[in-house]
Amino acid sequence: MSEPLKSRKRLSSLIYSEKARGVFAQILVTGGIAFIAWYLISNTFENLANQGIATGYSFLSLESSFGISEHMIEFTPADSYGRALMVGFLNTMKVSFLGIIFATLIGFVVGVSRMSKNWILSRIAAVYINLFRNIPVLLQLIFWYTLINNALPSPKRALEVLPDVFFSNRGVLFPVPADHPAYFWMGVVFVIALVGVWLLRRWALAHRDRTGQTFPYAWAGLALVVVSVFITYLVCGAPTEMSTPVLKGFNFKGGAKLSPEFLSLLIGLTLYTSTYIADIVRSGLLSVPKGQEEASTDLGLKPSQTLMHVVLPQASRVMIPPLTSQYLNLTKNSSLAVAVGYPDLVSLSNTTMNQTGQAIEAISIFMAVYLGISLVISLFMNWYNKKMALVER
């Protein structure tokens, strides 16, 4: 074979080799991404240098000099931006946590009602689902916010729906027990008691598997929690002092407050997400074959036992993955707080970047936080799916 022919053949075999083309494609794509990234980053640094904006996260320790209306940890304008973002993160967690609980409760009720044999109840549930699902959640929460601000009276004419519970356009005020160390210790004991219940349940299930005897761990656990927390209350001096809201001038002092921003966000997120949860509950319950219920009834299980030990465990395998992703959606949607002025992570990041000009840093922080939350949730999902996977054959 002559030399040129040989080299041409080598070249053509390279072109037609799938492996070589694969390597080439990967180099091309990675190179392209690297080039675009380099181009954008170099532009960014140039622009920042021209505008005289410093890069880096050192602004986090600077004094924020703005106030935050709602904070779960102490916060004053003298505190740093970093602490302000922490306050925002906790506020995000607070509204998401409560939203998840209420959306789940309402979603279960509506989902079960939707499946009811009672025609009118099922229709009402269907109307509820279609109505709140097909209107943008942002529109819903802006609507609730405007409604609370305009339809409720001023603090001076606040509606006293229950003794010492006031509804006004400044939000809902209600009495809470005044600050006392007893409540801290009750919380500690409560957590310890929960661990105790978990251990009790483990023992009870192992005991059942070993001997066949059941132990009512749910009731025993409930008693354990209630009694231990109550004893702590008595030991710590049984404080009875209450902090009640009182009208002073144009506003209320004392008590605890649910602000209009918080309420509208919570109501909007809850109603919107509950429609999705209702559908998940419905499809989960429908996914359990009817024969399962019939068989368990024939075995003599009570309806409650059938539900707890036969239907729900099977339905939850179908329900938990989409439920988790709805919880994640609710948490991400809580970032719409910025539209009604609830100080969540995104809206405080927004304030921070308006004051400092550190847009990239501020956005990167809240994106990283949301990514972190997503990551934790998907790790949980993987663990759960592995645990619940049907072992076949």
Partner 1 sequence: MSNIAIKPPSQSGIVNWMKENLFSNKLNTVISIICIYLVVKFLAGVVDWGILNAVFAADASACKAASDGACWGIISEKYRFIIFGTYPADEQWRPLLAMVWFVGLIICSLLRSFWKLWLLPLWIASLIGLGILMWGGVLGLSYVENTQWGGLPLTLMLAVVGTVAAFPLGILLALGRRSELPLIRVWCVAFIELVRGVPLISVLFMASVMFPLFLPEGVTIDKLLRAQIGIILFTSAYLAEVFRGGLQAVPKGQYEAAAAMGLTYWQTMRVVVMPQALRIVIPPTVNSFISMFKDTSLVLIIGLFDLLATAKVAITDPVWRAFYIEVYIFVAAIYFVFCYSMASYANNLETELRKGEQH
Residue from 90, 98, 112, 138 binding partner 1 (CB under 8 A): 138
Nearer to partner 1, 232 or 275 (CB): 275
Report the residue from 124, 165, 176, 318 that binds partner 1 according to the rule CB under 8 A.
Answer: 124
Q: In terms of CB distance, is 54 or 194 closer to partner 1? A: 54
Smallest separation, CB 357 to partner 1 (Å): 10
Please identify, among the stretches 134-142, 237-245, 255-263, 297-305, the one whose residues bind partner 1 according to the rule CB under 8 A: 134-142
With CB under 8 A as the contact rule, the residue among 180, 207, 317, 332 that binds partner 1 is 332
- 146 in contact with partner 1 (CB under 8 A): yes
Distance of CA 191 to the CA centre of its chain: 21
What would the DSSP string read from start to end of 296-361? HHHTT--HHHIIIIIIHHHHHHHHHHHHHHHHHHHHHHGGGHHHHT---HHHHHHHHHHHH--HHH
Identify which of residues 148 and 285 has a Cβ nearer to partner 1 in the complex: 148
Q: Is residue 93 part of the contact set for partner 1 (CB under 8 A)?
A: no
Binding of partner 1 by 381 (CB under 8 A): no
Nearer Cβ to partner 1, position 48 or 220?
Answer: 48
Instruction: Determine the Cα–Cα distance for residues 304 and 311; give it in Å rounded to an integer.
Output: 10
For residue 212, is it left (φ>0), alpha (ψ between -120 and 50) or beta? Answer: left
The smaller minimum CB distance to partner 1, of residues 67 and 136, is found at 136
Q: Residue 231: which H helix or E strand, with range?
A: helix 217-235
Degrees to nearest 5, angle at CA 12 with 9 and 13:
85
Distance CA 386, CA 392 (A): 13
Site for partner 1 in 34-73 (CB under 8 A): 40, 43-44, 46-48, 50
3-state DSSP assignment of residue 98: helix
214: contact with partner 1 by CB under 8 A? no
* Of residues 95 and 173, the one with the C-beta less far from partner 1: 95
- 356 binds partner 1 per the rule CB under 8 A: no
- Kindly tell me which residue out of 67, 77, 136, 153 binds partner 1, with binding defined by CB under 8 A: 136
Q: Are 177 and 255 in contact (CB under 8 A)?
A: no
Of 254 and 357, which has the nearer Cβ to partner 1?
A: 357
271 burial (CB, 10 Å; 0-12 / 13-18 / 19+) is buried
Positions 175 through 194 that interact with partner 1 (CB under 8 A): none
Among residues 2, 56, 117, 191, the one that binds partner 1 under rule CB under 8 A: 117
CA Rg value for the chain: 29
Q: How far is the CB of 372 from partner 1 (least distance, A)?
A: 9
Residue 252, strand partner residues:
247
Q: Which strand (E) or helix (H) includes residue 156? A: none
Q: Considering beta carbons, is residue 46 or 179 the nearer one to partner 1?
A: 46
Q: Based on the number of CB atoms within 10 Å of its own CB, is 319 exposed (0-12), middle (13-18) or buried (19 or more)?
A: buried
Residues found near partner 1 in the complex (CB under 8 A): 22, 25-26, 29-30, 33, 40, 43-44, 46-48, 50, 116-121, 124, 130-131, 133-139, 142-143, 146-147, 150, 332-333, 335-336, 338-339, 346, 350, 353, 359-360, 363, 366-367, 370-371, 374-375
